[in-house]
């Protein structure tokens, strides 16, 4: 299950991000994950629940959004959305492409409880 290390990274990053605010509990974590990671959202939810146990992120909701893959053809510069395992340029039919999006895991936002009222941003 390769979702576990990703869940661990999400929990660690979320806790680090709210640490300066002395957060007591994390309610919601929103992440964006590139399609190339081939994550099963249900498996990631299960892994997240297991990994966050005993931390301030325990019981937090995890919202997962997928990032579409994007490639640029090195021959003609065409930008397109490839399928996994099918990286052929639709314009010049070369398979010499660079993947420019779709392999990242981005922590988009975190909602947490803090001890005092935060000043308006």
Query: Per-residue string for binding with Zn ion, 59-88, x by CB under 5 A?
Result: --------------x-xx-x----------
Q: Which of residues 100-119 bind Zn ion (CB under 5 A)?
A: none
How many residues bind Zn ion, per CB under 5 A? 7
As a whole number of angstroms, the distance between CA 18 and CA 52 comes to 14
CB of 80 to Zn ion, least distance (A): 8
Q: At what angle do helices 3-18 and 41-52 cross, to 10 degrees?
A: 50
In the set 11, 23, 60, 89, which binds Zn ion (CB under 5 A)? 89
CB of 100 to Zn ion, least distance (A): 14
- Does 7 engage in binding with Zn ion (CB under 5 A)? no
Of the pair 27, 96, the CB lying nearest Zn ion is at: 96
Of the pair 91, 103, the CB lying nearest Zn ion is at: 91
Which chain residues interact with Zn ion by CB under 5 A?
73, 75-76, 78, 89, 91-92
């Amino acid at each position: 299950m390769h979702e576990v290390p990703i869940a661990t990274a999400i929990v660690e990053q979320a806790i680090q991000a709210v640490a300066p605010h002395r957060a007591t509990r994390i309610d919601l974590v929103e992440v964006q994950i590139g399609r190339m990671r081939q994550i099963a959202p249900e498996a990631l939810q299960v892994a997240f629940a297991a990994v966050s146990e005993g931390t301030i992120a325990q019981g937090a909701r995890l919202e997962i959004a997928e990032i579409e893959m994007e490639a640029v053809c090195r021959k003609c510069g065409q930008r397109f959305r490839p399928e996994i395992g099918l990286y052929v340029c639709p314009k010049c039919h070369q398979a010499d492409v660079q993947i420019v999006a779709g392999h990242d895991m981005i922590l988009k936002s975190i909602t947490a409880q803090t001890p005092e009222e935060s000043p308006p941003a």
